[in-house]
Chains A and B, each alone.
Chain A
Amino acid sequence: MLSDYALLLVGAVLVNNFVLVQFLGLCPFMGVSNKLETAIGMSAATTFVLTLASVCSYLTYNYLLIPLDLPYLRTISFILVIAVVVQFTEMVVRKSSPLLHRVLGVYLPLITTNCAVLGVALLNINKAHSFTQSLFYGFGAALGFSLVLVLFSAMRERLAVADVPEPFQGAAIGMITAGLASLAFMGFSGLV
């Protein structure tokens, strides 16, 4: 039982990593990874939103849409749920850490359109996860996102001072690094 959840978690973090294997949520991955501190803040915010949204959308689907026989409304209601959770997170962040709020800036509301968030909610339904499984899957996806974002921003901090050939400077070397990191994560397939 416990090993099932462990496998689900490892699967979501490493094997089916949302950013580098399933290529969801690339916008914040490239956009907020210039500075390690910001990346950690973004990871924390996304972890919170992703886990909460995963659970909330599970509840909405199973206790509202299924009894009313409206499963076709899942995408639009999940978007609604995610928007609310993000808005709520923004309020909490603004209250608790105004600096993080300013640093995250436009990316905080952009979690709404982070396709990893909607992706997790929909995959939970497709894979017929239970409540706890949804919770773990959402948390695992968020952990995977955070891991990759923090690793990548640490690499980009090094790249910023590295002697990069002129045509590759800036975003180009970032893309190449992301591609190589993605190749490395592909190596985890077969782990579970």
Chain B
Amino acid sequence: MLALITDHPLLTALTALLALGLVFGGLLGFASVKFRTEGNPLADQINTLLPQTQCGQCGYPGCRPYAQAIADGDAINKCPPGGQETIDALANLLDVEPEPLDAEHGIEKEPRVAFVREDECIGCTKCIQACPVDAILGAAKQMHTVIADECTGCDLCVEPCPVDCIDMIPRRTGIASWSWSMPSSTESSNIIATDREAA
């Protein structure tokens, strides 16, 4: 057998290539077992950029499922609570063009917090069940209230309330959440001298 192969140059060539292929195939097989990846690490990175309101406005049950969907190729502009800032961050991460927020899923609003008008609350616990982040405190037939620090302003508790005693109020700017306001577009176009001349 060996003599037959070495006598015929063509057979030698074929066997050599075959052996090379087999060795490399074995190597790759070993490497694929050794470097197996669990889950989708990209979805984790996307998830950290999402606002974690768990509001479901994107059409997915929460932020993590939406992150998974983006990793699988869904559009990045379905998150109203995150707004343009989140879309830009996602576009930067995924190296795609940023696009405006998809109005179908809601418009960007200022950060808000839920507030229970406590005199009117009948203690039905419906808002507690609706809250995705467990930010509402209370028990049956007891007054409920919102833990403002935990509330993500997702609006999901407003709908189930039978007596409409939940208001969404603008989040108060405290020392921790205060920031410089962005320059307005008319102002910023005046910063660069050549832009002023062109306009």
Contact = CB atoms under 8 A, between A and B. Distances in A.
B75 interface: no
Interface string A161-179: 0000000000000000000
B42 to A, nearest CB: 5
Interface string A76-98: 11001100100110011011001
B174 interface: no
A65 B144 CA distance: 80
A24 to B, nearest CB: 24
A68 B12 contact: yes
Interface string B18-39: 0011001001100110011100
Interface in B131-186: none
B107 interface: no
A82 B18 CA distance: 16
Nearest to A72: B13
B93 interface: yes
A81 B27 CA distance: 11
Contacts of A81: 24
A91 B31 contact: yes
B103 interface: no
B32 A91 contact: yes
B189 to A, nearest CB: 16
A183 B142 CA distance: 81
A106 interface: no
A35 interface: yes
A81 B9 CA distance: 22
A99 interface: yes
B20 A94 contact: no
A4 interface: no
Specify the main secondary structure of chain B where it touches its partner. Answer: helix
B45 interface: yes
B31 A88 contact: yes
B37 A73 contact: no
Contacts of A77: 16-17, 20
Interface in A40-89: 60, 64-65, 68-70, 73, 76-77, 80-81, 84, 87-88
B21 to A, nearest CB: 7
Contact of A84 (B12, B28, B36): B28
B77 to A, nearest CB: 18
A50 B16 CA distance: 24
Contacts of B42: 98-99, 102
A87 B16 contact: no
Given A70-B16, A73-B17, A91-B31, A80 B9 contact: no
A7 B32 CA distance: 39
A101 to B, nearest CB: 8
Interface of B: 9, 12-13, 16-17, 20-21, 24, 27-28, 31-32, 35-37, 40-42, 45, 93-95
| 9 tightest Cβ-Cβ pairs between the two chains A and B | A98-B41, A84-B24, A91-B35, A95-B35, A98-B42, A103-B95, A91-B31, A70-B13, A68-B16
25 contacts: A35-B95, A60-B20, A68-B16, A69-B12, A70-B12, A73-B13, A73-B16, A73-B17, A77-B16, A80-B20, A80-B21, A80-B24, A84-B27, A87-B31, A88-B27, A88-B28, A91-B31, A91-B32, A92-B35, A94-B35, A94-B37, A95-B36, A95-B37, A98-B37, A102-B42
